[in-house]
Amino acid sequence: MALTPTKKIWMNGELVDWDKATIHVLTHSLHYGLGVFEGIRAYPASGGPAVFRLTDHIKRLFTSAHVLGIEIPYSLGELVEASKDVVRESGLEACYIRPLAYLGYGEMGLNPIPCKVDVAIACWPWGAYLGDEGIANGVRLKVCSWARHDPRSLPTAAKGTGMYVNSSLAKVEAVRAGYDEALLLTTEGYVSEGTGENLFVVKRGEVLTPPSSTVGALEGITADSVRRIIDDLGFGRVRETLLRRTDLYMAEEAFLTGTAAEIVPIASVDDRSVGDGKPGQITRAVQEQFFKAVRGEVGQYKDWVERVD
Ligand code: PPE
């Protein structure tokens, strides 16, 4: 998805011009993929742009770094404020925010211990990640041949940059085959997640999701919000359970959740329609409440909305 530049990018404590936010080709993370990042969205709210669960996202950035042994040379509060600065500088009402901590220039070789850690935060306008049509009518998924990387090989709990090779391989396979998104299974054949989204299924009226740590899925902040919304709307507590691909074929409803993707109904999996192939009642209700919540329009979720001004 093509980028639309904004004015400034925060780099190691300073706001630099978009075009000047460059790095050396011998930047360590570019070679070995050891870095951590976040994806966060700001939405228009009364009183200016509001960042959805900003502090929780920055907390996860620190957790990912902790898991991967990367020491971020800033505090949580500093990166929260820096993210707000970037949004404010952009003048945008709605945008996607990308904090990134990576191993910088100066060392080579696989031992990352001596490397310095650099931090950047950018933002840009980003429309519907899986398309407006996808949000409205659902996306077509394909179970791909690449298994989700095993938690014994890579710490799937961390949002690490290099781990996304797995997602990119899956995405390319699905897109080339004419689908909107890939669904990754574990090496044991259980449903894990999309390339950048968690997954929910409705079966016999009950909302189910795979247990993240078992299936190597990221613990999504959108998924966490959605679980609370589902419970509060009276659809019951979401139950964590292992799912097979056939559970999706037989589901009444299914949807994906993620910061970039937001809430996206699944119309079909492997060319089998999910339910009647149209967004279901629970999916619709969750979408509606989520899009209100992110704009600060639901009183009980106002703590999720962190205003920039
Ligand atoms: N699983 C994966 C693998 C993942 O990357 C994401 C976010 C999620 C689940 C959902 O997590 P959360 O955003 O906290 O609800 N993927 C980010 C990266 C997308 C990209 O293309 O880059 C995102 O949505 O920002």
Encode pLDDT of 92-144 as tens digits: 999 999 999 999 999 999 999 999 999 999 999 999 999 999 999 999 999 99
pTM above 0.85, yes or no: yes
User: What separation in Å is there between the alpha carbon of 202 and the centre of ligand 1?
Assistant: 21
pLDDT at 2 (0 to 100) = 86
Mean pLDDT of the region 268-286: 98
Establish if 106 belongs to a structural domain: yes
Q: Are 33 and 160 in contact (CB under 8 A)?
A: yes
Q: Which atom of ligand 1 is nearest to the CA of 193?
A: 1
The verdict on the CB of residue 258 being under 6 Å from ligand 1 is: yes
Closest alpha carbon to 184 in 232, 227, 216: 216
- Total domain count, the chain: 2
Among protein residues, the one with the nearest Cα to ligand 1's atom 22 is 39
Establish if 3 belongs to a structural domain: no
Q: How confident is the model at residue 47 (pLDDT cuts 50, 70, 90)?
A: confident
Mean pLDDT of the region 271-295: 98
Establish if 298 belongs to a structural domain: no
Among protein residues, the one with the nearest Cα to ligand 1's atom 8 is 197
- Indicate whether 282 and 142 sit together in one domain: yes
**Residue 163 pLDDT exceeds 90:** yes
Query: Active site includes 59?
Result: no
**Residue 45 pLDDT exceeds 90:** yes
Contacts 24+ apart (CB under 8 A), 130-134: 130/180, 130/181, 130/256, 130/261, 130/264, 131/180, 134/180, 134/264, 134/265
**Residue 203 pLDDT exceeds 90:** yes
Among protein residues, the one with the nearest Cα to ligand 1's atom 21 is 196
User: What separation in Å is there between the alpha carbon of 219 and the centre of ligand 1?
Assistant: 9
- Indicate whether 161 and 284 sit together in one domain: yes
Q: Which atom of ligand 1 is nearest to the CA of 167?
A: 3
pLDDT at 272 (0 to 100) = 98
Q: How confident is the model at residue 56 (pLDDT cuts 50, 70, 90)?
A: very high
- Indicate whether 158 and 191 sit together in one domain: yes
Percent of the chain with pLDDT over 70: 100
| Domain limits for position 22 | 8-124
Q: CATH number of the domain at 91, please.
A: 3.30.470.10
